[in-house]
A and B are shown apart, each in its own frame.
Chain A
Amino acid sequence: MGLVEFAAAKTLASSAVFLFITVLLIAAATRTSTCIVLFAAQCAVITMQVVAMAYLHRSGEALVVAAMVLLVKVLAIPYALLRIRNRLNVPADISASTTAAQSVYIAAALILLAFAVVQPYARAFALDSEMLAVATALVLTGAFLMVSRKKALMQVIGLLVLENGIFLAALTTTFGMPLVIEMGIFFDLLMCVLLMGVFVFRIRDTFEHVDVSRLRRLRG
């Protein structure tokens, strides 16, 4: 086994651990900008993973996907989010409804839950149960971040973490979707983040705050 293959295999084997660490850190973070940087780090781990897979499977398409993850998720989206955050001029804290410690415990519990639920599917389809568990854990913690964080931007980050989970699920189960579809999904994701940025500014301008838990005019 050559050195590069060895490195690629090691990257694949250890990326699950790194992803779990980013999830726990995002749950623990108390500032929006930290969360954005951690999200970028999470996507960087995913990029490494796609590159390693591309090398092991000798797939050019996967390299293109890796380049898109790098451009869109590691660079463009965090950059846009950081800019929005700086221009918003609102307090930096995330105003969570749970404390940092509670969030970490909940995220850890969700990771354990993810491991438990994926076992039967991993066995039935002979898939890597660790990666499947990471994907499920990302989906669950993304959803948890969306319901527990009150800042509009944090909801966007929760959504992005959730989407990362779905991307990983596609990657581990089917070695990615066809390239054209992946490109369309990335385009949609980018547009979605930009549009959410537009709405965050509109929320600030019409309500003079960005606390979405206080948006409750429409009921029933």
Chain B
Amino acid sequence: MTLWFPLLLPLLGAFLVLGFKNPRAAVRVALGIGIAEVLLLGNCAWKLRSAGVLQQGRYLRADGLTLFFLINLGLIFAVVLAYSVGYLRHIPKGRFSSPRWFYALVFLFLFTMVAAYLSANLGMLWIAIEATTLASALLVGFYNTKGAVEAGWKYLIVCTVGIAFALFGTIAFYLAAVRGGVPAEMALDWATLMTAAPGMTAARELLKLAFVFAAVGYGTKIGLVPMHSWLPDAHAEAPAPISALLSAVLLNCAMYALLRLDAITSHAIGGNFSHTLLLSFGGLSLLASAFLMIVQRDLKRLLAYSSIEHMGIVALGVGLGGPLGLFGALLHAFNHSLAKTLLFFTTGSVRETFGTLRMDRIRGMGRALPSTSAVLVVGGLAVAGLPPFGLFVSEFAILMSAFTQSHYLLALLMLAAISIAFGALLYHFQRMLSGEPPGSPASANRPRPLAFEIAAVSICGVCLLILGLHVPAVFISVLHGAMAVLQ
């Protein structure tokens, strides 16, 4: 039951919240369900840590890798839930834009992501990841403005087509497994595939084909260049808590799927092929997004391109492989989710104060919004990969791995891209922060931040700092557990 409860609670919660028409009651119920869900996820993580592997029925299974990503999901979801309580005041009234619809869709979105992590089966995994698109498309279009509708449509079409390719890849894996002698009803279970992988060497070409399709398909969801076109639009047009969820949890969720398939492929035919593919996608994403960050005009689009950059770094880490590369990649995915959540949280109050997220129209933010500006600077330094924040440690590990494997060109490329991205962030942020705020000092009627928001922001900040100064031993052992599954 440890795995069933955290899976089913969000599904039930979604329908329960819909039943509360009174906005205040809906928010309270949603908070209650959300806290219960975080506790259930925590319980699941606790049991998983002592047991190592949990299997419930034929379709639910969790191991060390799941544990790591569940911790990530639980932490970010808790923070986003706390932040969303105050954020809902930004949302204009409309037929489907009441708190109950917001939380119902958020819980459905959460359900699909938990399902992706807990499914024991590559087919189920595919279904869950496709369902994440469906559940979050309405959240992307939540504001119902022209931009939001366009972004929602684009997100739905691009990701559905992309994910269709991943289905083709999954079918090819299935075919390879069946031809390799795995019984048909077991041939999609990833645990079975991992043990049976060495026997599938005969289907070398087929596995290569399967992995290419899977990488393109799940890569669309991860936002790897050149399949990234939906990502900046969706992140820019979604409400801030949803942008945080998309960037910090959904991208990692798709990365998790690709990690599983990469592990199976490398077990069967050696890591050379799949890792080279990941290195090229990662390098391309890193370079393209770093340059595109310079020319952005919208704050949230800038943050979205920064997400592409960091997912590129994660893909590089996985592609480099080895203990150090994989360690860096997983840690980087975790760190990035914390830092990006922090940054997306600031966009809410920026939009409220300046009425826009166009960076050329925002001036004197340092004076108009001192505390938000402080958070923006901390988050900006963190995503730029400066010490003492966690992203420095993980980027350093990946760079080290590149140098020790004599991928000098790749290491140089990564250093250059990180520097360009840092320059872009610095340029945009200093222009927004400096100068005089436009109009009269309207600080008097500015709503004070809620205790919930302060708590959400400080949890992210403190975690980033801890991971940057000294990664706790417990967390390292969780990371090693996750890496052991993949190697």
Contact = CB atoms under 8 A, between A and B. Distances in A.
Interface of A: 121, 124-125, 139, 143, 146, 152, 155, 159, 162-163, 166, 169-170, 173-174, 177-178, 180-181, 184-185, 187-188, 191-192, 195-196, 198-199, 202-203, 206-207, 212, 215, 217-218, 220
Given A181-B123, A184-B124, A199-B153, A159 B174 contact: no
Nearest to A203: B149
B134 A188 contact: yes
B71 to A, nearest CB: 27
A199 B292 CA distance: 29
Contacts, number: 118
B171 interface: yes
B121 A181 contact: yes
B167 A220 contact: no
A206 B175 contact: no
Given A121-B205, A159-B160, 13 more contacts: A139-B168, A146-B161, A159-B161, A159-B164, A162-B164, A173-B171, A174-B174, A178-B188, A195-B138, A207-B146, A217-B150, A218-B150, A218-B233
Nearest to B145: A206
A173 B171 CA distance: 8
Q: Considering the complex of A and B, which 4 residue pairs feature the smallest CB-CB distances, nearest first?
A: A181-B123, A184-B127, A218-B233, A215-B150
Given A185-B127, A195-B134, A220-B292, A162 B171 contact: no
A196 B209 CA distance: 30
A162 B161 contact: yes
Interface residues of B, number: 50
Given A124-B205, A159-B160, A166-B167, A203 B153 contact: yes
A218 B236 contact: yes
A167 to B, nearest CB: 9
- Which of A124, A184, A218 has the most chain B CB within a 10 Å cutoff? A218
- Which of B130, B168, B171, B188 has the most chain A CB within a 10 Å cutoff? B171
B123 to A, nearest CB: 3
B331 interface: no
B328 interface: no
Contacts of A159: 157, 160-161, 164
B179 interface: yes
A30 B296 CA distance: 40
B151 interface: yes
B411 interface: no
B413 interface: no
A206 B149 contact: yes
B149 A199 contact: yes
Contacts of B131: 188, 191
Contact of B138 (A163, A198, A212): A198
Nearest to B185: A178
12 contacts: A139-B168, A166-B168, A174-B175, A177-B171, A188-B134, A192-B130, A192-B134, A203-B153, A206-B144, A218-B147, A218-B236, A220-B296
A206 B148 CA distance: 10
B178 interface: yes
B412 interface: no
A162 B185 CA distance: 26
Nearest to A124: B205
Interface in B356-397: none
